[in-house]
Structures are given as C-alpha cells and as structure tokens.
Structure 1
C-alpha cells in the first residue's frame, strides 16, 4: 500500500466549525499509533486482510462481495473498487467506534514474474523499477 488514512468513526467528535481546531478531529495524525500500532503497521495489516480472502469472495476483486469478509479487530478495512471500475456503489456496515482504514493508493506487483524481459534496467534499483511500473496505475 502506498498510502492509507485511518480514522475513528466518532459521532461526538467536535467539528472544525464548532471551534475544535481541526477540520476532522477523528483522523489520526501520520505519526500516531491508533490501538498501539503505527499507520505503517495498519497498512501492512490491510494487505494481510486482502491476501487472506479467497478470490471468489474477495471484496477488492468484486463490488458484489461482502465488505465484512475477514474483518475483525478494532479496524474496518474499506475495500477499494476493482481497477478500471467506474460509477460503482458499494455499501458496507461498520460498527460505531471502529477505526476505518481507507487506502489512498495501492499497487500489487507480482515481480518476479515469468516474463524474463521484465527486469530492472542495468543500474536501476528494484524500487525505482517497481515504482516506474506502478505509475501506469
């Protein structure tokens, strides 16, 4: 996952207009540790959640799959829409008080793959090679 945002659903959160000083006080700051874990660890856990669900039931592969598949713990992982989808609607039920993890961007690259031509250029780092491939998404 390239980026994620974690927020706690809190109907009692003070609004920015109400003088709370934050446009959305329910969002966790980048260096915070919601429920004892860094946002990086929550991002890793998002991938563990995605990869633990069989393809036929995986909500990131189909908007008709159940959003609650494999969900548990203090965070609800909001599945993104499948690549290339447009004008879709998805409904998910989230328990009050649960944090919600939303991916801002994610790319899965299955390198190394069977195509022998799919390799970094001489002198190119693996990171730069994979990043260049992700730009297309």
Structure 2
C-alpha cells in the first residue's frame, strides 16, 4: 500500500454543466500503513477544476474495500458553470471516498462531500456534491 498512486476523479453533474466529463488527475502518496489503516498526502494536478495545495488523507482497507477522507488546505468551490472561488484562509470541507479493488494495486469508487456554505455572502447548498474516482499504484 505504501507508495505513489496516480488517480483521477470526476463530478457527477448534468450534461450541460461545465464540469460534465471533466477528469481531474491527482497524485496520492501513502506514507504509513499498518495493514489496515493508512495516511498520506494528495495533490490535484488540475488547477482549473481541482484544488490547489497538498492535502492529507487518512483511511482504512478491509479486504477489497477502501475508504478514506481527503482534506485539502484551500477551500475551493467550482460552480456548475465552471466559476472557481478560492479561500486560502479556510480548509476545504472533508471529502469522503469509498471504493473497492477489482485489480491488484487498483481501486475505484465514489466520493462526496456534504453541507452548505456562504460564498460571497450568499448561502449555497452543497448537498449531493459527488462523483467517481479511481487510483492505480505507480511506485
């Protein structure tokens, strides 16, 4: 499990959204693993639709199932029309990943984050922000 993993994620949005069919690539580095629990870092490669900065991940593996929480250092919101808003003084909401291994050193599944937020003093519901993801070990 320890090593570098290359991955990508997509948003589950309507076809007319700017985010439809966009794949955001990322690198995930697992630095500690005790046979079940792991920790590491994550960095998105796409600064147009991803989140800037190096984030942390904490998770666990149970048989072929995986779950982890991704915490990015910069709060980033991308609206359905592609408009990007960043706040470097706040962390991004935790993003929850769940998945399964279908092949050795490869996982795929779904991600989501929940909640509501104020952006430019306007209240935005962020419920059901979700999508799909996959990772493959490269080192």
Shorter-chain TM-score range? 0.3 to 0.5
The structure carrying a bigger helix percent of its residues is 1
> What TM-score results when the alignment is normalised by the length of structure 1?
0.34
The structure carrying a bigger strand percent of its residues is 2
Mark the structure with the bigger radius of gyration.
1
